[in-house]
Structure 1
Amino acid sequence: MEEMRRNFPENFLWGGAIAASQAEGAFNADGRGLSVGDVVPYNKGLNRKEINHHKNISNEVIALAIQDSSAANYPKRYGIDFYHHYKEDIALFAEMGFKVFRFSISWSRIFPQGDELLPNEAGLVFYGKVFAELEKYGIEPLVTISHFDMPLYLVEEYGGWLNRKLIDFYMRYAKVLFTRYPKVKYWITFNEINASVFSTFKGVGLLKDRSAHFEQECFQAVHHQFVASALAVQLGHELIPGSQIGCMIARFTTYAATSKPEDVMQMLHDDQYRNFFFTDVQTRGYYPSYMDRYFAEHDIQLTLQQGDVEILRAGAVDYVSFSYYMSMISSADPEHLEQTAGNLVGGIKNPHLQASDWGWQIDPVGLRYTLNQLYDRYQKPLFIVENGVGALDQLDEHGNVHDEYRMDYFREHIRQMKEAILDGVDLLGYTIWSAIDIVSSSTSEMSKRYGFIYVDQNDDGSGTLNRLKKDSFYWYQKVIESNGEDLG
């Protein structure tokens, strides 16, 4: 037997992550088109634990958004202006010691409408500069091809991923990226591909008020994404030999509310339908049998074209990546249990866990459980590409942020990662969410801060955009320098 690993691997990829739709800004610069993220509004004055703007997108909301370009109403369009601050930001990431930086490429910056034959050269030049800056500091890029920012035109003109034509548009886009940036080793095909069932507009471009059978359309849309992902894996391997191309889900780790068998069965089903279905298809290369019953009971009939089965099998991913923020509770009788409005999609409150300012239940041990569960199921390398806590950071009179609560959060999660490695899990790396404060994906607000670097910007877009190092910046610097041994 191999000697048990007791520490993080020497080549472990420590780093951080952002998304173009939340950080980049410059939404109307250099030929970029509108994306789905650009029309998700920020509604002031709502209870932060109840804000889920991505669930409220409709035809009317989109029509209003197209006419309104204000930073106060649509903060994602402006982000933190990474587009013009990327050199400064990457220098700060390098100072922290990043080995890897996960970011996404804005699809609508490369193909403004999404269906063009030729890409937007200005967009390609920008990302070429980003890659060059990362290379200067020896930081490995981890690129997400599609991260909640598909061109809005593909929604308006084609109906989003429900239309199979989007496979061709996506593949044209992916081929441009693979051809233009052949030095990039690590890729992710879709961010949180299970968003098709919890954030359908951002994930697959579908609107409930345009649908006759919404759930069927969601699953049909994600099938098209499965096919596109599998084709991209094959193309990436062909164009970039040695490349590693992974899938990604938002991991909804769940526990049974009680030892009652009905609750345990509900936990199994929640895990299958929220999590495993999406990773099973992309990792094993075929549809799991448990979905047959689900589709039958929900009157869902998917349309597969000839060759889809073979494409999925040939395009299995190289590794499994996921976001992990909290755990959830499963119950066969949830109405009689206390609820939480947090956890991204709401759910049952776990009395044994503390919660963030936004009601998300903090569960470090759940990360170890998740790592063991996923590795045991797939026996493929894992990559934690999002993990973090949104908090109301406050500057003191000296312009410092003393965010011990953030360090506590990461300290306990990293300890559980190490335990999982001792358990035998093959873990490639860890990109915290987020490397720097960015606009929130779920709430479109700036005050929900995740980063180790403070950005002087308010919810309405006002501020200097100055970057300031939080206490956690120096803490994470020591963590990386010690390869996870010095956790303070």
Structure 2
Amino acid sequence: MTTSVFPKDFLWGGATAANQFEGAWNVDGKGPSCSDMLSGGTHTTPRRITRTNEQGVHYPSHEAIDFYHRYKEDIKLFAEMGFKTFRLSINWSRIFPTGMEQEPNEAGLQFYDDVFDELKKYNIEPLVTISHYELPFGLTQEYNGWAGREVIEHFTRYAETLFTRYQNKVKYWLTFNEINCGTAEFGAYLALGILHKDTKDFLHQVDEPAVRFQALHHQFVASARAVQIGHKINPDFKIGCMIAYMTTYPYTCNPEDILLAQEYNNIRNNYCGDIQVRGEYPYYAKRFLKEHNIELDIRDGDLEDIKAGTVDYYTFSYYMSNCVSTDPKLENTSGNINGGVKNPYLQASDWGWQIDPKGLRYSLNEIYGRYGIPMMVVENGLGAFDTVEADGSINDSYRIDYLKEHIEQMGEAIKDGVELWGYTPWGCIDLVSASTGEMEKRYGFIYVDKDNQGKGTLDRKKKASFFWYKDVIESNGENL
């Protein structure tokens, strides 16, 4: 790319989540979230879900990388890279410790005031996710998370509190992170706060699809009501959805594989997007729900709310692509949320995630062709082992290669006509992995000295990718 195709006001930045980098899990009135009850793990050992905090067990979110006490240092580093935007989430249980309080925790609200003021100092636009895998654990204990309809009211109170408090500090909002993870067994606890009495660990949850899809319905209603509330408080708010886009190809041109991929994409990728963008349940939902013995409890006013509360823009995460096939003998591979059949044309990361930059261009075109509203890529990145050399340097050329190729394909999608507002690579600073609880699966431009057991100085160190990304932003995507 010799000439930048990115708009002059393109929002370059980075993305994080409160439960994965904030720490201070019980400081200044914060209550426990679902993430705070997850033990550490690895890509071979699943995280445990504990009902109480157990002595001697490592809970990675409790300290994480301690952004809570180091936010000025970290934001200064983001500013040095030239960030135009910073995607962060609010820790719900920092504002409402059990989720059920009528009045918010002032200390929690003040912390985010301070963070937003610090971002403003460097002209960095906050992009705020209202709920990103940190449902207050009190709501899981009381209502089985989003399975309980009562949580809609608690969420709308929480969202209204944020919209009112930060109406002059935040313009860009997202209601739920990767809401479509609720369509997968994996998402029952993390995305929906559902905890079956027989579930012991994160990867082997007792699944009740009817409960999951009912909980998703409650999130659709809550999101739509929040959009309506937000637009009343400040009509200039831009409120979006966020989808974990699981780009899926048929493994062969066998019509069976084609139909399987179509169904997979409809349920995993399009189901939530269609409801949040188009404002109604899609035509294919009726058969899917019936064949899976799911009968939704849809109350009076729900569908009207969903219709009235459609989002202003569409954001998504993109890490990889997968294939699906009706042939059970084919080799499978791991991935983000769901794995699939190994694609012989692609290389893979240290964690087995298949690297497919052109899949990002394909996905951008698929989504924009379907909805025709502005878009942002709000998660994208390479989780890898990083080595600190004897001189202190970290040469993560593999990460630069990954990001470079994906940015090139975003440029191609813009040439195709896609309206793309921004790009916030995931884990712009090393943080805790949501799925495995690891620290050593690193994504950041900034290295944090901490290991999988929670040991380390927490010192920050710039990687080679830090300086590369700084140049990318400065040149508006021209120097890759």
Cα displacement string for residues 298-339 of structure 1 (whole angstroms, at most 9, x for unaligned residues):
111000010111100000000110000000112123x21101
Q: 2:341 aligns with which of 342, 345, 348?
A: 348
User: How far apart, in 1, do the equivalents of 2:108 and 2:237 lie?
Assistant: 23
Which amino acid in structure 2 is aligned with residue 200 of structure 1?
A: A
Alignment of 1:91-130 (within 5 A): 91-130=76-115
Alignment of 1:308-323 (within 5 A): 308-323=302-317
User: How far apart, in 2, do the equivalents of 1:390 and 1:469 lie?
Assistant: 16
Asked whether the 8 Å contact 1:267–1:330 carries over to 2, the reply is yes
Deviation at 1:209? Answer: 4.1
Which amino acid in structure 1 is aligned with residue 54 of structure 2?
A: Q
Matched, 1:375 2:368: yes
Matched, 1:201 2:189: yes
User: How far apart, in 1, do the equivalents of 2:93 and 2:138 lie?
Assistant: 9
Match of 1:476 in 2: 469
Which amino acid in structure 2 is aligned with residue 34 of structure 1?
A: P
User: How far apart, in 2, do the equivalents of 1:343 and 1:312 lie?
Assistant: 28
Match of 2:427 in 1: 434
Match of 2:455 in 1: 462
Cα displacement string for residues 327-360 of structure 1 (whole angstroms, at most 9, x for unaligned residues):
0112123x21101133432221111111111111
Matched, 1:157 2:138: no
Deviation at 1:76? Answer: 1.3
Partner of 2:377: helix, strand, or coil?
Answer: strand
User: How far apart, in 1, do the equivalents of 2:468 and 2:215 lie?
Assistant: 42
Match of 2:178 in 1: 192
Cα displacement string for residues 64-96 of structure 1 (whole angstroms, at most 9, x for unaligned residues):
x4233x5x6211111100000000000000000
Asked whether the 8 Å contact 2:181–2:337 carries over to 1, the reply is no
After alignment, is 456-465 or 230-239 more displaced? 456-465
Cα displacement string for residues 127-176 of structure 1 (whole angstroms, at most 9, x for unaligned residues):
00000000000000000000000100100111110111100000110011
User: How far apart, in 2, do the equivalents of 1:344 and 1:397 lie?
Assistant: 36
Match of 2:37 in 1: 39
Match of 2:70 in 1: 85
Matched, 1:67 2:54: yes
Cα displacement string for residues 386-406 of structure 1 (whole angstroms, at most 9, x for unaligned residues):
000100001000111000000
Match of 1:252 in 2: 246
Deviation at 1:42? Answer: 1.3
Asked whether the 8 Å contact 2:4–2:478 carries over to 1, the reply is no
Asked whether the 8 Å contact 1:134–1:141 carries over to 2, the reply is yes
Deviation at 1:28? Answer: 1.0
Match of 1:27 in 2: 25
1:147 and 1:32, CA in 2 relative to 1: closer, same or farther beyond 3 A?
A: same
Matched, 1:176 2:164: no
Partner of 1:429: helix, strand, or coil?
Answer: strand
Match of 2:399 in 1: 406
Partner of 1:457: helix, strand, or coil?
Answer: coil
Which amino acid in structure 1 is aligned with residue 5 of structure 2?
A: N
Matched, 1:339 2:339: no
Asked whether the 8 Å contact 1:365–1:416 carries over to 2, the reply is yes
Asked whether the 8 Å contact 1:343–1:359 carries over to 2, the reply is no
Matched, 1:328 2:322: yes
Asked whether the 8 Å contact 1:108–1:150 carries over to 2, the reply is yes
Asked whether the 8 Å contact 1:104–1:143 carries over to 2, the reply is yes
Cα displacement string for residues 284-307 of structure 1 (whole angstroms, at most 9, x for unaligned residues):
000001010011111110000101
Q: 2:445 aligns with which of 425, 445, 452?
A: 452
TM-score normalised by L of structure 1: 0.94
Which amino acid in structure 1 is aligned with residue 344 of structure 2?
A: P
Partner of 2:111: helix, strand, or coil?
Answer: helix
Cα displacement string for residues 186-242 of structure 1 (whole angstroms, at most 9, x for unaligned residues):
000000001212321010011244699710000000000000000011111111121
Q: Kindly tell me the number of residue pairs found equivalent between the two proteins.
A: 469
Match of 2:125 in 1: 140
User: How far apart, in 2, do the equivalents of 1:52 and 1:240 lie?
Assistant: 43
Gaps of 5+ in 2: 200-205
Match of 2:203 in 1: none
User: How far apart, in 2, do the equivalents of 1:24 and 1:246 lie?
Assistant: 23
User: How far apart, in 2, do the equivalents of 1:413 and 1:42 lie?
Assistant: 30
Partner of 2:424: helix, strand, or coil?
Answer: strand
Match of 1:13 in 2: 11
Matched, 1:226 2:220: yes
User: How far apart, in 1, do the equivalents of 2:455 and 2:256 lie?
Assistant: 51
User: How far apart, in 1, do the equivalents of 2:231 and 2:309 lie?
Assistant: 10
Asked whether the 8 Å contact 1:392–1:449 carries over to 2, the reply is yes
Which amino acid in structure 1 is aligned with residue 241 of structure 2?
A: C
Alignment of 1:267-278 (within 5 A): 267-278=261-272
1:6 and 1:26, CA in 2 relative to 1: closer, same or farther beyond 3 A?
A: closer
User: How far apart, in 2, do the equivalents of 1:207 and 1:241 lie?
Assistant: 37
Partner of 2:31: helix, strand, or coil?
Answer: coil
1:343 and 1:67, CA in 2 relative to 1: closer, same or farther beyond 3 A?
A: closer
Deviation at 1:6? Answer: 6.5
Deviation at 1:257? Answer: 0.4
Asked whether the 8 Å contact 2:86–2:125 carries over to 1, the reply is yes
